[in-house]
Structure 1
């Protein structure tokens, strides 16, 4: 993600951007200017950027609906006397910067400067939050009723997600008139800062250490049998998702633990905020209670005697500084939930001292602790193969030197060692006794290619199962960091990180084509954290020319996911197969992503087939 700018810098930048885009035509921009008899809906206006941005307003009246004395400190207030225009919000945030001195129910007047704050900084592409900064606040009376909330329901939220951005303004929707009856993002924006309420709603994103969870107000929208909301394409956004946070500090009231499929029951009510991680957020003054719907972790079936089971698992920066409990939990998952696959490709194995930058690149201790924990959990004595990266060259957590590794059960499968593989030498494909073989095993695929700059290089290995060679390629493509949010002001958002993944996919695709040119019916399995969707151009580049097939597409659409991000159940981890693998069994084993208690943020994937 882009780093946050200072709040004042972000405000100044968005004002400049608004001016450049012609959003303030006819309006003065001097902060010294004063606009009299202004009400909240005048400040909010009918677009995403206030028509009064940069101006000083005086004695804007309203009733306090929420107070936040941690993080971005301030309060929300609302005008009980609306203008009847559905496009103009009657609520507004006042940024105080220090602990507010008002209470819910206070009738106040606020003077200050109208600003547009971009959470995450202007470079993030996020929408801005309209607010009053440097305020002078006068309490007129206390104990007043809070203005009645707007109830957000399945019927009130439009099915269409967003209008297309204005090409004349860089694809931004900032200057477009709000259409809250037509677009979901416009609907939520028309309620920015207002007091809103939801009734009992299904949880679609588990609670996190940041005291947040995601619900949907549209229970039928792309739902699956485990309670999630599946993200199936760039043009079928899940409009009913809404983030919920508590206004009550954790020290006063612990945030409830919730898994996907649970229900946030009763009334949840408070101001609608816009923040960096997820956008529109109900900051709950009143929080419902979580009803546990008993979601259980899945267990895949064991492979039959003649089946080879190949799996991928992102173990989230595993290193020896992690507590033994993490190693043990991951090991139990391998044994109990993944049924001890024959070959297991691991992503995010860190070096032997974790995120410490001292030149260490070996990961033998990390892998030994993990394989020992698997034995202790009743699993096989896995052997492993990996290649140490160059220090600081493969991205990930600084100092961690993450890499892929193969675990394999030598009682079921053998590894063909071909010496010479290292961080910078490429493995090639040759013909050996009429079959495709690797010159280096384990070996890296084209590690000097610019596609792998500051990113993990693919690890290729040659395995033998029941006399049949299987070439396995473990991957961890570049992350989505730096992409604009789906709630950003540019629509469609800029997904800049795709460019590198497209290059990476083409390199891997070319390697598989080299294998198939030598042996048309070769068994090749490409797997790992692809960091992209099954419908993405990255997957299209991997499968180009029929070299590979995305095995997850064999599942019903509602079951295609390995990760839950901001309430969207989506695909990041994949297993792809060469044409010679005609029949297989595929399972996305849901043991992490839907749960508040996670051993990793990814769900592992398992493929079983007969080579």
Structure 2
């Protein structure tokens, strides 16, 4: 034994004497019962033992037992494993139960009790050290124990108890464990928690020196047959240096000693590496080592090496959602079918013949894999169930993969890939049916339709489905079991095409056509790839979907062309709504357009800078000019008076002509939200009727906005623009997400819908008409409660009259209508068409005006109307004409400056249309010989529909067949009809003379047949 330095000897000379009431010298040195409690220092309760004597004590088979403060039951106990020897001056830490999640982990305990752990009181209790494992008698103050501690208000046993403990204090035996007078209150001090374990430096009581032994650490090890591996064992001596390790007996063939690293100082671990090559057969092997130090001491250890054999992939996967081998290290093999940037897919080429078990698996390498597609490899790794998101669904259905890879051996290269398994999504009963193909190479046999493109730029993902597009269930069904069943069916027939980059904002963006887009509604006939599982959106709690990593680039078709022009809705007045995607003239970087004012960056929601603003404005102007509506309700425009609105008006007038559009005057209130609703209109087409109105009732966070209009012919109507509470950022109670697919804030939207009904009389009174259109973003799908409330009260869903399958928004890969055109019964009778212009919802978000995250050469923005917003604009046609009726005599009929319909009837009538687009209706051959004094070819029309039916003329082109005739006369063109056309002998019967018009100006566009 080496002589200790002088300072150590002096310290030992003044060390506290050991007053050994314990017969063996082993005592309870520290107790802590606050583990895991609120504000706890440590996360576990513990009992600490200490050998205050001068000789080693075998404490294996001893026990620590606990009773409550006044309790008599000692059944809460921990028995120390056999063979444990506690050296003099050494501590032994026993980790017990936890009262919660607070506190940090203990230093490595010498025994970690995970089953039947003692849950001690954090304030008062009794702990006994017993020299056997027998439960103490049921008494409050037992005798015959090796040591006992009472703390807090406990029954006294060894003198008075210590003071009560807390979450941050423990009972610590004085002199670092050396004091034992059989009086707890004198022997212990309550102070900060300070757990000590077997690795803590020795504290020899009484000043003596003991030659400490070598302590080996040789835990059992595991390896996998066919995979080379290595591991390290160690030994320490607190007062010496371990300097050698040698084999006890013989090592099995395939196991060798590797490098040895001796201790660099007293108490520092020496390590011995042991190598296992890939020839070692499966089985259990006992290994032994002898350790030496520089004081001629030795110590030995034995441990078990368990070698497992190759496990086939189907056995790893199993037939359930989770592998029964989770956490197990295995060796498996197969053919590499697909590489991604942080791993590869491996498939057993033979499989097990069981359709319920997958033959493929993902191998997570964390970095780019070094294997190639077609390589046959053996992999040694740990089976892991990886939850791809924080959602409950993900936790219940994790992805089985191999991680913590220790070895990849390439057996051969250039192997053929396993034949893809054919899968029909349309035939799957539920989404979980895809679990059996997880990690496998499959071929989806169904024609697939693109449902969602939002994440093609951000994550390289497209959602597709079999059986056509998926519709939002509550757009076609009332919320309830049927809608939930439809959602499940949607998920079952959908998959996500993943570009395999596992990279945000992949460059180049995958799946785009040469025209710079891929649209919802595009199709692809079958896809081949490997099956993965993960989020279908960029939300950690959003819906999950099975994914396909294509092994060949999908080839898309576009059965529905990009709509360059809005759909025809008829009528002589067109009303539209358009979401302008947070159009702000102040930017998030603090700057603004000239005169645009300023707002704090948190209040600016649109463009970040002038460049983005210019791009955004160009797209919005293209969309609004394309709509070419007479009234447009705007949503998501900056609440800055009419400044942002006027900016758009100025842009439209620069494109379409001076004074084409004007902003409807500001209403009394626009609310306090950063965005508002607004309106623009064509002053040459419509006049304002009454003052602008707004409903700033507290339920409307964005006040509803209304204005009456009048056409030149005197026809009146009113428009109410709405933007109801969104579905995000949940409230509480009935405004939380109740799981019925209506999302958050449904109650408030219902209250807003009711308020709209209550406010309608104000609108009709101010506008002077009961013809009212209610449009905008209701944030409710067509069958949800707010819309149902309105339609149940007699409000008409105008869009459903013409296009029940219409949609304006795509969310979670399902299309639905959040943007509505509703109306009173009086206006519904005047509607000629209503639908959405699909220029936004089907397009990728990636092609919008934003510039961030778009690398050079990967910016697909175009200065057109597509993806001007995330909502599609909606268009309604109105037939607001003045009907001018004649009598059975010869009438002189004069129209208005607007659009008129003339029903002259019998007699020779003289009709003057004046302004607008006029229609002259003829129903029978008896409708006299009339004169139109100011017929405008290309603008006015002769309506012969009923006339031709009455005389049985069915020609598709009556002008070409001579069934409708035109003869030039001195004062104009004479129009008539010939029952048998130019091929017959009958003569034409004159119907109407068009004054000052030549037949050369009359064509099929001048008629309605």
TM-score computed with the length of structure 2 as normaliser: 0.43
| 1:240 aligned residue | 493
In structure 2, the CA distance between the partners of 1:502 and 1:138, relative to structure 1 (3 Å rule), is same
Kindly indicate whether residue 546 of structure 2 is the aligned counterpart of residue 280 of structure 1: yes
Distance in 1 of aligned mates of 2:396 and 2:791:
33
Find 1:344's aligned residue among 600, 611, 632: 632
CA distance in 1, matches of 2:315, 2:703: 56
Indicate if the aligned counterparts of 1:214 and 1:566 stay in contact, CA closer than 8 A.
Answer: no
Question: Structure 2: how far apart are the matches of 1:444 and 1:123?
Answer: 42
Structure 2 SS opposite 1:554: helix
Q: CA deviation at 1:556?
A: 4.4
CA deviation map 1:546-581 (0-9, x unaligned): 3x2222221344x42122345533222111112332
C-alpha distance in 1 between matches for 2:476 and 2:792 = 21
Using a 3 Å threshold, how does the CA distance of structure 1 residues 469 and 184 change in structure 2: closer, same or farther?
same
The answer to whether residue 824 in structure 2 is matched with residue 578 in structure 1 is yes
1:407 aligns with 2:680: yes
Give 1:382's aligned residue.
Answer: 662
Cα separation, 2, equivalents of 1:578 and 1:313: 21
User: How far 1:295 sits from its partner (Å)?
Assistant: 0.7
The whole-number CA distance in structure 1 between the counterparts of 2:869 and 2:616 is 9
Distance verdict in 2 for CA 1:68–1:461, change over 3 Å: same
Q: Which residue of 2 aligns with 1:472?
A: 719
Cα distance, 1:347 vs structure 2: 1.6
In structure 1, list runs of 5 or more residues that go unmatched: 1-27, 159-181, 352-360, 395-400, 419-440, 484-491
Cα 1:127–1:471, aligned 2, differ >3 Å: closer, same or farther?
A: farther
Find the partner of 2:616 among 326, 330, 339: 326
The offset of 1:222, in angstroms, is: 6.3
1:86 equivalent in structure 2? 355
1:313 aligns with 2:581: no
* Aligned counterpart, 2:462: 213
Report if aligned partners of 1:62, 1:79 keep a CA contact under 8 Å in 2.
yes
Change (3 A) 1:253 1:523: closer
Could you tell me which of 464, 489, 504 is aligned with 2:749? 504
Q: What is the SS of the residue equivalent to 2:442?
A: strand
Alpha-carbon distance between aligned partners in 2 of 1:405 and 1:412, rounded to the nearest angstrom? 19
Post-superposition shift, 1:129? 2.8
Contact 2:581/2:870, CA 8 A, preserved across alignment = yes
Asked whether the 8 Å contact 2:463–2:536 carries over to 1, the reply is: no
Q: Answer 1 or 2: which has greater strand percent.
A: 2
Instruction: Please report how far the alpha carbon of residue 530 of structure 1 lies from its aligned counterpart in structure 2 after TM superposition.
Output: 2.2
Asked which structure has the greater CA Rg, the reply is 2
Deviation at 1:136, TM superposition (A): 2.9
**Mapped contact 2:796–2:828 kept (Cα < 8 A):** no
Q: Per the alignment, do residues 477 and 150 of structure 1 end up closer, same or farther by CA in structure 2, a change over 3 Å counting? A: farther
1:444 maps to which residue? 695
Partner in structure 2 of residue 104 of structure 1? 373
TM-score of the aligned structures, taking structure 1 as reference length: 0.69
**Distance 1:410-1:502 versus aligned 2 partners, 3 A rule:** farther
Aligned-pair CA distance for 1:79: 2.5
Query: 1:409, CA displacement in angstroms?
Result: 2.2
- The answer to whether the 8 A contact 1:593-1:603 is kept is yes
Q: Aligned ranges for residues 427-442 of structure 1 at < 5 Å? A: 441-442=692-693
Match of 2:705 in 1: 460
Equivalent pairs counted in the alignment come to: 488
1:138 aligned onto 2:408: yes
Aligned match of 1:170: none
| Alignment equivalent of 2:422, drawn from 151, 172, 181 | 151
- Select which of 561, 564, 570 maps to 1:295: 561
Higher RCO structure (Cα 8 Å, ≥6 apart): 1
What stretches of structure 2 of length at least 5 have no aligned partner? 1-114, 116-219, 223-307, 478-482, 538-543, 586-608, 731-736, 848-866, 881-1009
The answer as to whether partners of 2:475 and 2:784 remain within 8 angstroms in 1 is no
In the alignment, what sits opposite 1:368? 646
Output one character per residue of 1:10-49: Cα deviation in whole Å (capped at 9) or x when no partner: xxxxxxxxxxxxxxxxxx9xxx998976443344333334
CA distance in 2, matches of 1:124, 1:362: 44
1:238-277 equivalences under 5 Å are 238=490, 239-247=492-500, 250-251=506-507, 254-257=510-513, 258-264=518-524, 268-277=528-537
1:97, distance to aligned residue in structure 2 (A)? 3.1
Contact 1:482 1:497 in 2 (8 A): no
Partner deviation per Cα, 1:264-304 (whole Å, 9 max, x = no partner): 35754233333342622211232123345571314233764
Question: Over aligned residues, Cα RMSD in angstroms?
Answer: 3.9
CA distance in structure 1 between the partners assigned to 2:783 and 2:774 by the alignment: 17
Partner of residue 333, structure 2: 61
Q: How does 1:141-180 map to 2 (within 5 A)?
A: 141-143=411-413, 144-153=415-424, 157-158=426-427
